[in-house]
Amino acid sequence: MIDALTGVLLIPAVAAALLAVLPGYRLTARLNVLAAFLSFVTAVSLFIVEPVSGPYLLVDDLNKVFIVLTTFVGFTTSAFSASYIGHEIEIGRLTPTYVRFYHAMYQVLMFAMNLALVANNIGLMWVAIEMATLTTVLMVGIYRTHEALEAAWKYFILGSVGIALALFGTILVYMAARPVIGEGLYAMVWTVLVTKAAQFDPALLNVAFVFLLLGYGTKVGLAPLHAWLPDAHAEGPTPISAVLSGLLLNVALYALLRFKMILALNPAALAPGPLMVTMGLISCVFAAFMLYRRRDIKRMFAYSSIEHMGIIVFAFGMGGPLANFAALLHMTMHSLTKSAIFYAVGHIAQVKGTQKIADMGGLTVTNPVLGWGLVLGVVAIAGLPPLGIFMSEFLVVSSTFARAPWLVLILVFGILVGLGGLFLRLNTIVFGEPVGPTAPAQASYVPMFAHLAIVAMAGIYMPPALVTGFQNVARLLG
């Protein structure tokens, strides 16, 4: 029996196998888009008919939101990727063999992320996240330049250490669960763990969570474990930067949230909140300052991702229905906006033939659509009203201010510093005298503006169904 749950796994898996053998860029790029679209439709259908969860796979209100977001951005990115890769083939940066490999890997990555999101077994979830890491390492290194290889190596080493620590944490959770639930499969099933969490040995859970936070936190890109992130974003193909920032960081965060929920149910265990709040704040402020000295456009937006993941982790760490709601909204808005920015940046870098900010200029004059698209994206990501990120940042601040005014002041300081850094660089890129090649971009603007339209829309009006949906999830997160 194939239900929607199997569908979101089966479609990318079959597509990956097909893409690995089919020749021809045009056909495979379209097939890639088609598969991503089908996954998205299947994911949406999860809301209509909820499949039954088993000991391995699970669908609940929390992961539905993540799956739909993942498959949606996966779909739009595949559309962007089709035009991006077309250009890369033209200029000979990628050979047909590598393109075939790239497309197959893209679907493997989608499969791994969906699997991590629907996994009910904490061991299976770990395997899926490892698989996602592995595929992105290969994709980051695909250009095979010095920088790309170095970035991939750094990502591989840091990512593997993170993954290893996360596994140790997972084993410790099993050790804590075993005396209560008994040996075997069910001591690793998340839905069972949650019902019995109150009886687990709190000391063991504490140590487990520290390992999980460090392990999955590396993958979320929290400072000081973020070192791989800017390199991986800057050196890989731009569609992969969009997927990394928009999706993979969320998937790692999702894993962390699942464990946070287990810990929150054990009154004797340490509160996971303060740890997450601290790391979130450090990431936000640190990344905001790092924005100022960036010379590479993709690297700059990678730091902006660290900043926003910091804000999201801060809000989830504060907890409570309101802050969780704000965090969920911010995560959604950030995914959409950041991937839209990377779509613009990808085409800009192709037009200019470089990623150096100093070699860009006057984009609003030479390539008005791209230039103003980027301006809109940066205005959104910096959190200016009336766009969606302003809404979500406002909610983060207002929902936590009463509880921890000093912490929120630090957060707002970070956001403002980041805003300054972004606009300083944006000014160089899009205004002033045109610099460098000014050929028109062969771009598909639809994915970018579709994302920005949703973000702009969310700042003004949110459908009540969406609000209630998010509120349910926020309550679930506690």
Q: Which of 41, 161, 435, 476 binds another protein (CB under 8 A)?
A: 161
Closest CA to 309 of 289, 341, 340, 331: 331
- Please report whether residue 57 would count as binding another protein according to CB under 8 A: no
User: Nearest CA to 136 among 124, 122, 148, 123?
Assistant: 148
C-beta of residue 169 within 8 angstroms of C-beta of residue 215: yes
Considering the complex, state which of residue 186 and residue 372 has its C-beta at the smaller distance from another protein: 186
Give the nearer residue to another protein in terms of CB position, either 107 or 136: 136
Name the residue nearer to another protein (CB basis): 174 or 316: 174
Contact pick of 22, 95, 147, 463 for another protein (by CB under 8 A): 147
Interaction pattern, residues 272-311, with another protein; x per rule: CB under 8 A: ----------------------xxx--x------------
Looking from the CA of 389 toward its CB, the CA atoms found within 13 Å total 26
Q: Residue 119 in 3-state DSSP?
A: strand
Instruction: Return the residue of 27, 353, 356, 403 that touches another protein, per CB under 8 A.
Output: 356
- Pick the piece of the chain touching another protein (CB under 8 A) from 156-164, 238-246, 380-388, 414-422: 156-164
Would you say 425 or 451 has its CB closer to another protein? 425
Answer for which of 35, 152, 275, 311 binds another protein (CB under 8 A) is: 152
Residues 304-343 interacting with another protein (rule: CB under 8 A):
none
In the chain the first and final C-alpha atoms are separated, in Å, by 34
Helices 122-140 and 228-235, axial angle in degrees (round to 10)? 50
With contacts defined by CB under 8 A, name the span among 171-179, 303-311, 401-409, 428-436 that binds another protein.
Answer: 171-179
Q: Which is nearer to another protein, 128 or 288 (CB)?
A: 128
Give Dmax over CA atoms of the chain in angstroms: 69
Compute the chain's Rg from CA coordinates.
21
- Are 177 and 196 in contact by the 8 Å Cβ rule? The answer is yes
- Residue 463, CA distances (Å) to 324, 330, 467 in order: 18, 16, 7
Q: Cα dihedral sign for 263, 267, 268, 272?
A: positive
- Report the candidate in 110, 98, 306 with the shortest Cα–Cα distance to residue 219: 306
Residues 384-443 that bind another protein (CB under 8 A): none
Size of site (CB under 8 A) for another protein = 48
User: Which of the ranges 74-82, 128-136, 216-224, 447-455 carries the binding residues for another protein, by CB under 8 A?
Assistant: 128-136
Does residue 229 belong to the site contacting another protein (CB under 8 A)?
Answer: no
How far apart are the C-alpha atoms of 160 and 69, rounded to whole Å?
A: 26
Query: Does residue 209 contact residue 278 with C-beta atoms inside 8 Å?
Result: no
Under the criterion CB under 8 A, does residue 138 sit at the interface with another protein? yes
Q: Answer left, alpha or beta for residue 430, where phi above 0 means left and psi between -120 and 50 means alpha.
A: alpha
Check residue 121 for interaction with another protein (CB under 8 A): yes
Cis peptide before 230 (omega within 30 of 0): no
Name the DSSP class of 270. Answer: P
Q: Which stretch binds another protein (CB under 8 A): 158-166, 261-269, 271-279, 397-405?
A: 158-166
Pick the piece of the chain touching another protein (CB under 8 A) from 61-69, 86-94, 150-158, 311-319: 150-158
Q: How many CA atoms lie within 13 A of 83 on its CB side?
A: 19
Q: Which is closer to another protein, CB of 232 or CB of 281?
A: 232
Around Cβ 55, how many Cβ atoms within 10 Å?
15
127 interacts with another protein by CB under 8 A: yes
Comparing CB distances to another protein, the nearer of 179 and 274 is 179
Return the range that interacts with another protein (CB under 8 A); candidates 82-90, 157-165, 191-199, 394-402.
157-165
Nearest to 369, CA basis, from 347, 337, 350, 386: 347
Task: Tell me the per-residue interface mask from 175 to 214 with another protein, x by CB under 8 A, - otherwise.
Answer: x--xx---xxx-xx------------x-xx-xx-------
CB of 4 to another protein, least distance (A): 25
Minimum CB distance to another protein, residue 387 (Å): 30
The correct pick among 86, 123, 436, 469 for binding another protein (CB under 8 A) is: 123
Sign of CA dihedral 15, 42, 342, 240: negative
Residues at the contact surface with another protein, assessed by CB under 8 A: 121, 123-124, 126-127, 130-131, 134, 137-138, 141, 144, 146-147, 149-150, 152-153, 156-157, 160-161, 164-165, 167-168, 171-172, 174-175, 178-179, 183-185, 187-188, 201, 203-204, 206-207, 231, 294-296, 299, 356
